[in-house]
Amino acid sequence: MVSAPVIQSHIPGGSGIITGRFTIEESTHLAVLLRAGALPAGLEFLEERTIGPELGQDSIDAGKTATAVAFAAVLTIMLLSYGLFGLFANIALILNIAMIFGLLSLIGATLTLPGIAGIVLTVGMAVDANVLIFERIREELKSARGPARAIELGYEKAMSAILDANITTLITAVILFTMGSGPVRGFAITLGLGIVTSVFTAIFVTRLMIASWFDRRRPKTIEV
């Protein structure tokens, strides 16, 4: 400590006066000590390194590429495996991704690398419900049921498995968001939103498209 003066009133001009019974030597010594902290100190650079955002940007670009590849692969497999019904599932998947980005924009979330990972996982999980439904419809068709009844039973009997799988995953996402921090929360947000939109598009959107197509065409047989 150099000096501990008593502040008797406010300092309106930004400067004050230290009063006391100082000798000339004491006051000069005090002034030197107070000015010592303001003396310029030279800095000699021994080494300088600059770290840019290239590493993070490379990871984000790789994540975007992985998302695009996964998205294209899922669309192709669904189309080849289920034909017209696979096309309906692909349309629902595209709507699903659009809804995820819309919700992220609505809540003002920033898309990070863990968030991209959550979207990639959602792409794979989004068609899982449709696969369960379509496979159930195939089983009902093998039981010599009519197309309309097979579609209805396919959705009814696959509903419990879809809800169980997605509810447990949603609980996991909630726990990750509650107990995690930073990147873990980003992953949990996109995963949770993806689960909600996936269930909505799988149960309602694809069923609406299939029902509209069936009412318009009234086919005697269907291929799933």
At residue 149, the pLDDT reads 85
Alpha carbon 4 to chain centroid, angstroms: 54
- Return the beta strands (E) in 74-221 as ranges: none
Q: Is residue 40 part of a domain?
A: no
Q: Within a domain: residue 182?
A: yes
pLDDT band at 223 (very low <50, low <70, confident <90, very high): confident
Tell me the pLDDT band of 143, cut-offs 50, 70 and 90. Answer: confident
| Rounded Cα gap, residues 125 and 167, in angstroms | 13
Rounded Cα–Cα distance for residues 51 and 183 (Å):
21
146-178 pLDDT, tens per residue? 888 888 888 888 888 888 888 888 898 899 888
d(CA 182, CA 112): 10
Q: Give residue-wise pLDDT tens across range 194-216.
A: 888 888 888 888 888 988 888 88
Mean predicted confidence (pLDDT) in 94-121: 83
CATH of the domain at 191: 1.20.1640.10
* Residues whose CB is less than 8 angstroms from the CB of residue 120 and which lie 6 or more positions away in sequence, other chains included: 63, 66, 67, 70
Could you tell me if residue 45 is inside a domain? no
Number of domains in the chain: 1
Would residue 128 count as lying in a domain?
A: yes
Q: Is residue 87 domain-resident?
A: yes
Instruction: Say which range, 26-30, 49-53, 88-92, 182-186, has the weakest mean pLDDT.
Output: 49-53
Is 46 inside any structural domain? Answer: no
- Across 15-28, average pLDDT: 83
Alpha-carbon gap, residue 120 to 91, rounded angstroms:
17
Domain of residue 184, residue span? 57-217
Query: Would residue 117 count as lying in a domain?
Result: yes
- Listed in sequence order, the residues at least 6 apart from 162 whose beta carbon sits closer than 8 Å to its beta carbon are 129, 132, 133, 199, 202, 203
CA distances from residue 19 to 11, 22, 31, 112 in whole angstroms, order as listed: 14, 8, 13, 59
Residue 17 pLDDT grade (very low, low, confident, very high; cuts 50, 70, 90): confident
Alpha carbons within 13 angstroms on the beta-carbon side of residue 179 total: 6
- Which pLDDT score, from 0 to 100, does residue 38 have? 60
Predicted confidence (pLDDT) per residue in 119-138, tens digit: 888 887 778 888 888 888 88
Confidence of residue 37 (pLDDT cuts 50, 70, 90): low
SS3 203: helix
pLDDT of 55 > 60? The answer is no
Q: Which residues contact 123 (CB under 8 A, 6 or more apart)?
A: 67, 70, 71, 74, 93, 97
| Torsion sign, CA atoms 124, 129, 132, 136 | negative
Residue 48 lies in a domain: no
